[in-house]
A = this chain, B = another copy of it.
Amino acid sequence: MDSEDLTGAQLLAAFAALANPHRLRIIAALADGRQYVSLLARQLGMSRPLLHMHLQKLQAAGLVSGELELSEDGKAVKYFEATEFSLHVTPHAIKGLAPTLPEPADNGKETD
């Protein structure tokens, strides 16, 4: 996940995902290592459905990844971890990606 390899639309999604204090805290909490959703919600003091929504957005932007596992006592547990992204953002870098930005009217839809 290097900023060099991204399209404008992907970089935009990353910025949108990062533009929220909850989600920055989530990344901070996952920077050390992985954690499962319910415990993470308790650690961050937010409701589990809310955390779920934020994790979806972070995952869609490629900033975290999650995998469902089975714990020893049979429960399904979903662990998330931060991906090792590295975005180097400068005016020049943005200029390079501008041609691949979606039109403001666009809804990011593919040729459907």
Q: Which residues of A contact B (CB under 8 A)?
A: 8, 11-12, 15-16, 18-22, 24-25, 27-28, 30-32, 46, 82-92, 94-95, 97-98, 101-104, 106
Contacts of A22 in B (CB 8 A): 104
Structural contact, A94 and B19, CB atoms closer than 8 A? no
Among A18, A25, A83, A91, max chain B CB count under 10 A is at A91
Structural contact, B87 and A32, CB atoms closer than 8 A? no
Structural contact, B25 and A101, CB atoms closer than 8 A? yes
Q: In the complex, A8 Cα to B23 Cα: how many Å? A: 12
Structural contact, A31 and B92, CB atoms closer than 8 A? yes
Structural contact, B19 and A12, CB atoms closer than 8 A? yes
Contacts of A46 in B (CB 8 A): 104
The 10 closest A-B pairs by CB, nearest first: A28-B98, A31-B91, A82-B91, A31-B95, A15-B19, A28-B95, A16-B19, A87-B89, A15-B18, A19-B19
